[in-house]
Amino acid sequence: MSKTVLVSGGAGYIGSHVTVELSQAGYEVVVADNLSNCDLTCLEGVRKILGHPVTFKEMDFCTVKAVEDLFDSFRFDAVIHFAAFKAVGESVSEPLKYYRNNLESFINVVEASRKRGCAVLFSSSATVYGEVDNPPVTEKNDRQSATSPYGNTKQMCEDILRDSAAAYEGLSGIALRYFNPIGAHPSALIGELPRGVPNNLLPYVTQTAAGIRDCLSIFGDDYPTPDGTCLRDYIDVVDLAKAHVCAVGRMLGGKMESAYEIFNIGTGRPVSVLELVKTFEEATGVKVNCRIAPRRPGDVTAIWADPSLAVEKLGWKAERPLVETLRSAWQWQQYVSRK
Ligand code: UFG
């Protein structure tokens, strides 16, 4: 019998890609989402890609009863938790909104899981590492104090899972620390749909290329890096989604070496802001109007993953070439612009 996986926040950008990969790997997937930061566009795309709908429940993970009822209605073998707010700037101006939503929802999920022996996969972020001296970072690198309430919720949720897995017999969990997820499904039926002005680099690039934004600001060209712009590890969203399938397989296959494990999910290759823009232009043949702007407060200079633990233990590695990822993001942008 196939295993059943709950994807909280599965109507969103990363969750919808994970839903596709899990379904294609033979899992039964249930998506639950309160649609607070997305609509049904991606779920509709998931249905087209798979050729059938996935079970969907509109609900809020902050409501204990809703979470308990959901876990009573299905027998989940694992849950992947994405349901969270993610705007760094907004988290600074509205910290309580972030702490309440991101922590309460996760506590409810962990509580429901531990009662029923369901494994928990948490979507964490490389933001927990802060500014590092000598990238690449391994999972052994210390975490730094978070620079935003959003980043703090990632650290706190990691700790909630770590402590719960240590305390409760039968509860196990994995945190995946994503570097910079970008791109879209090769079908161009699902992708990132930022609301309002994008905060992240690639959506801003594609919207500028599409003429929705006038000009991309490159935040700082005086960093101590080869071309003066920041270095990041841009991980293709489909590759990232496949890491979740590997991690669920590890949890459910009894392969974990301790009740709580952490893996970096990145390519291991640093790419500068200018290089990303240039590669996008080469990959798509579309010019991106840009200008150098002052540094953005809170940005770290350079961070990229050492993904060797994921390679060794999850049997996963990033595969999609950057040009393909960038082309997919452009195809998705064009699809969205036509809609
Ligand atoms: N950048 C620009 N112009 C833009 C947007 C971004 O030059 O319009 C630059 C940034 O300065 C940075 C790089 O592009 O050097 C990447 O920026 P993103 O905003 O795309 O990504 P970040 O590395 O800042 O974000 C990551 C994660 C977030 C997390 C954040 C914490 O994607 O989820 O780190 O700092 F919250």
Distance of alpha carbon 59 from alpha carbon 195, whole angstroms? 20
Strands 28-33 and 55-58: parallel
Catalytic residues: 150
Q: Ligand 1, atom 18: nearest CA belongs to which residue?
A: 200
Chain mean pLDDT for the chain: 97
The CA–CA distances, whole Å, from 20 to 59, 205, 215, 270, 307 equal 20, 26, 34, 28, 23
Mean pLDDT of 155-184: 98
The rounded Å distance from CA 28 to ligand 1 centre is: 34
pLDDT value at position 300? 94
The rounded Å distance from CA 200 to ligand 1 centre is: 5
Mean pLDDT of 31-52: 96
The rounded Å distance from CA 199 to ligand 1 centre is: 7
Q: Ligand 1, atom 4: nearest CA belongs to which residue?
A: 201
Please report, as a single letter, which amino acid is at residue 160: I
**Ligand 1 atom with least separation from CA of 205:** 8
Mean pLDDT of 100-125: 98
Would you say residue 1 has pLDDT above 90?
A: no
**Ligand 1 atom with least separation from CA of 229:** 15
Q: Ligand 1, atom 21: nearest CA belongs to which residue?
A: 200
Mean pLDDT of 86-91: 92
Distance of alpha carbon 91 from alpha carbon 84, whole angstroms? 11
**Ligand 1 atom with least separation from CA of 230:** 15
Distance of alpha carbon 37 from alpha carbon 296, whole angstroms? 24
Q: Region of 269 please: left (phi>0), alpha (psi -120 to 50) or beta.
A: beta
Mean pLDDT of 107-132: 97
Would you say residue 254 has pLDDT above 90?
A: yes
Q: What percent of the chain has pLDDT over 90?
A: 96
pLDDT band per the 50, 70, 90 thresholds, residue 338: confident
Let me know how long the chain is.
339
Please report, as a single letter, which amino acid is at residue 334: Q
Write out residues with Cβ below 6 Å of ligand 1: 88, 125, 127, 150-151, 180, 199-201, 204, 216-219, 230, 232, 273, 296, 299
Q: Ligand 1, atom 16: nearest CA belongs to which residue?
A: 201
pLDDT tens digit string along 285-324? 999 999 999 999 989 999 999 999 999 999 999 999 999 9
The rounded Å distance from CA 19 to ligand 1 centre is: 25
Write out the DSSP string of 154-168: HHHHHHHHHHHHHHS
pLDDT band per the 50, 70, 90 thresholds, residue 195: confident
Contact between 247 and 176 (Cβ < 8 Å): yes
Q: How many helices (H) and strands (E) does the chain have?
A: 12, 13
Q: Within 10 A of 312 (CB to CB), how many other CB atoms are there? A: 11
Pick the more confident residue, 147 or 261. Answer: 261
Q: What is the DSSP letter of 226?
A: T
Mean pLDDT of 146-153: 94
Strands 231-232 and 271-272: antiparallel
**Ligand 1 atom with least separation from CA of 88:** 36
Q: Ligand 1, atom 20: nearest CA belongs to which residue?
A: 200
Residue 94, classified by CB atoms within 10 Å of its CB into exposed (0-12), middle (13-18) or buried (19+), is middle
The rounded Å distance from CA 182 to ligand 1 centre is: 11
Q: Ligand 1, atom 3: nearest CA belongs to which residue?
A: 218
The CA–CA distances, whole Å, from 5 to 200, 245, 266 equal 29, 10, 23
The reply to whether omega before 149 is within 30° of 0 (cis) is no
Q: Which residue has the tokens 């978070």?
A: 146
pLDDT value at position 310? 98
The rounded Å distance from CA 300 to ligand 1 centre is: 9
pLDDT value at position 117? 97
